Amino acid sequence: MKEIYIKARAKVNLNLEILGKREDNYHNLESVFQKVNLYDEIYIKKTQTDDFKLNINVKALNTKENIIYKAYVKLKEQYKVISGIEVTVNKKIPMQAGMAGGSTDCAAFMIAMNKLFNLKLSKEDMESLGRSLGADVVPCFYNKAIKAEGIGDIITNIDTHFKYYMVIIKPEIACNTKEMYQKIDNKKDIKQLHTTNSIIKALENEDVQLLANNLYNVFEEVVQEKEIIQHIKKELIKNGALQALMTGSGSCVYGIFKDKQLAKNAYRALKDTYQTYICTSYNVKKGEMF
């Protein structure tokens, strides 16, 4: 095999609860991650050199701070069989959006490298390497709905293939993850709803109304542009969403719809005003990972 192509799928958080700050300054969380069929495209080609070359359609990301480059360096340190590569990324997932764009690119890149160079990395090997690169990388290995705990690295599989429809809006604001966690730390009176069990039940029973009724994100309590987020949520609900929620630490907001036609109608109504995407939940049919 000389080259490989992989889709790096975005995620949304169906709920997100912060359970406290750890001694290592990370935070313990509980969240149901749902992969969706919005994705970045990654092409990797072996080269005759010993170098790493990155082509990406977002100029600001074409640096050695890119998480894909960091993953390459770590893999090459451990596996001498790895040669030079040329990586091309067609980025479609919005940035600073709470959709794990960088983390899912990293996870997909590692899975592709494992296949391209026949590294024979186990699930545990992948997770260990992913954990060293970023807190969100581990859940991004799973191309389906999962429960994430710890810093996001303790994964529980959810038995579901539920397909439901979403419209996602990226506001003209960006949320800095580190700053959002600091705001959580500074706010003492947050009441969390603990909806994980209800969300898992909704996914397993394919109950879209129960799912919509239990969407929750603690970061909505501290987002500075709360009025903008709330306005977009109201716009989605006004256009047929059963409920809407900000994902991750922001700033994307998604609405869940009862059926495809309602989602299409909302997308058409909102796309000229906002940066808008329409997609479905994604749960891979075979295996746990990509």
CB-CB contact of 278 with 92 (8 Å): no
CB-CB contact of 139 with 155 (8 Å): yes
CA terminus-to-terminus distance, the chain: 18
d(Cα 127, Cα 189) in Å, to the nearest integer?
Answer: 34
Q: Is the peptide bond before 198 cis (omega within 30 degrees of 0)?
A: no
Does the annotation mark 136 as catalytic? yes
Beta-carbon contacts of residue 248 (< 8 Å; ≥ 6 apart): 12, 13, 16, 97, 98, 99, 100, 177, 217, 219
Helix (H) or strand (E) holding 109: helix 101-116
Residue in the structure block whose two tokens are 């080269």: 47
Residue in the structure block whose two tokens are 């909102």: 270
Does the annotation mark 11 as catalytic? yes
Catalytic option among 35, 105, 136, 147: 136
Q: Would you please indicate which residues are annotated as catalytic (active-site) residues?
A: 11, 136
